[in-house]
């Protein structure tokens, strides 16, 4: 599964498109394994046999629009598109949180939870675990940790930047990826697998 981040939009026609099928990364064919499955800019996928639902959220407007759309050939149109898509993403999340029967919701966005300080109602919904366990994954920063994100306890929140793009910044030394394991009882366990920072980011 995939979702758009800020750098994706600089040259992708998606920034200026009215029809998401014009977006270079949108792929509604789940059988086409040459590409990530991404039927829309935000979407959900139910996995009933695994007792979980995946929810992908396009959150590129209120979080990072001023650093994104001026790189595109259609700054005003890009802003309009990203606002519409992020508003729709919030709506999708609230709807699925209310109506999904899945035991676990795996929610991801390009941005980690600390980017949503201006949306306390969203963070409060991520913290609820009366009907679902929620596991949230965001990137943007290029580190792998749970310490730099805004807590959604008792649920789980990861920064899973993985060292991509602009890795080796000074704010973190945890480079790698996050593993999620689904037990026979449907319980999800997550943990990081890290590489030696000095091997990846040797200072000259």
* Alpha carbon 157 to its chain's center: 11
Q: In whole angstroms, what is the distance from residue 57 CA to residue 31 CA?
A: 21
Determine the Cα–Cα distance for residues 102 and 49; give it in Å rounded to an integer: 10
Beta bridge mates, 43: 56
Say what the pLDDT of residue 128 is: 97
Contact, 39 vs 49, CB < 8 A?
Answer: no
- pLDDT tens for residues 119-164? 999 999 999 999 999 999 999 988 899 999 999 999 999 999 876 5
- Nearest Cα neighbor of 163 from 183, 181, 179, 178 is 178
Q: What is the pLDDT of residues 18-69, one digit of tens each?
A: 999 999 999 999 999 999 999 999 999 999 999 999 999 999 999 888 899 9
């Amino acid at each position: 599964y995939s979702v758009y981040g800020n750098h994706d939009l600089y040259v992708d026609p998606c920034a200026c498109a009215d029809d998401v099928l014009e977006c270079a990364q949108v792929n509604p064919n789940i059988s086409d394994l040459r590409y990530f499955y991404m039927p829309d800019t935000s979407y959900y996928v139910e996995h009933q046999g695994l007792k979980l639902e995946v929810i992908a959220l396009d959150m590129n407007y209120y979080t990072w629009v001023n650093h994104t759309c001026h790189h595109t050939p259609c700054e005003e149109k890009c802003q309009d598109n990203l606002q519409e898509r992020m508003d729709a993403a919030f709506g999708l999340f609230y709807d699925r949180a209310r109506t999904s029967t899945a035991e676990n919701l795996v929610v991801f966005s390009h941005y980690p939870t600390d980017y949503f300080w201006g949306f306390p109602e969203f963070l409060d919904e991520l913290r609820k675990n009366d009907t679902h366990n929620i596991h949230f994954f965001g990137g943007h920063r290029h580190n792998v940790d749970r310490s730099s994100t805004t807590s959604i306890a008792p649920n789980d929140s990861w920064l899973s930047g993985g060292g991509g793009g602009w890795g080796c910044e000074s704010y973190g030394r945890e480079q790698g990826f996050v593993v999620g394991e689904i037990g026979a009882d449907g319980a999800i366990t997550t943990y990081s697998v890290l590489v030696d920072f000095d091997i990846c980011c040797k200072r000259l």
